[in-house]
Amino acid sequence: MASTRDLIVDAASRLIHIRGFNNTSVDDILRESGVGKGNFYYYFKSKDELGFAILDRSVERIRQDLVEKYFTAAADPWEQLQGFLDFPVERARKLGCTGGCPLGNLAVEMSDIHEEFRQRLNRAFDELLSRIELSLEQARTQGTLRGDANITRLAHFIIAGFEGAFMLGKLRKDPEVVADVIGEVKDHLTQYRVNLSPVAHL
């Protein structure tokens, strides 16, 4: 059985994912969760503190659903990146482009108006960027990434395409728009890929 704290975080996460942080009130969260105001303030001193808990949970789910699933040491680095980029397409087709990326939504809404949220979101994206950079470094080490590729720029480009696909899908309500954006990102990455010829056996 979920704890009272988890009930609050679950309800708030659902509402904020669709409405946004500023358009979701504490009263909205209390109605959705069925928790009394006294219990809310027992676990969270403020709505901001609840927001940080939601952000922490979103980061952990991204670790589980994306990083741990796709960025495995045994997988080829190009397969790692492909799995990561396929995620928004699969999610859009499954959920009908509803909600978007929870971190991306918060980044757009909060970065200009709440410095603590911006810093926490920046750290979350830095963690993901570092993992993408590691895959690109692995590709370079194995000789399948062009030597002139700027890994940091490519990693930022991949994240921008990933988040942009979510945003346009949410706007257009069309999963195929998401697929088109991701397809262009993959095509761009292909320009940096080196296909190694099979080594002849002696």
* Whether 169 contacts 97, CB under 8 Å: yes
pTM of the model: 0.89
Domain ranges in the chain? 1-45, 54-190
- Helix axes 4-19 and 26-33, enclosed angle (nearest 10): 120
pLDDT tens track for 141-159: 999 999 999 999 999 999 9
Q: Which CATH number fits domain 54-190: 1.10.260.40, 1.10.357.10, 1.10.1200.10, 1.10.274.50?
A: 1.10.357.10
pLDDT of residue 201: 37
pLDDT > 70: what percent of the chain? 96
CA distance 119 to 122: 5
**What's the CATH architecture for 1-45?**
Orthogonal Bundle (1.10)
* Mean pLDDT in residue range 54-80: 92
pLDDT tens track for 74-93: 889 999 999 999 999 999 99
* Mean pLDDT in residue range 92-119: 93
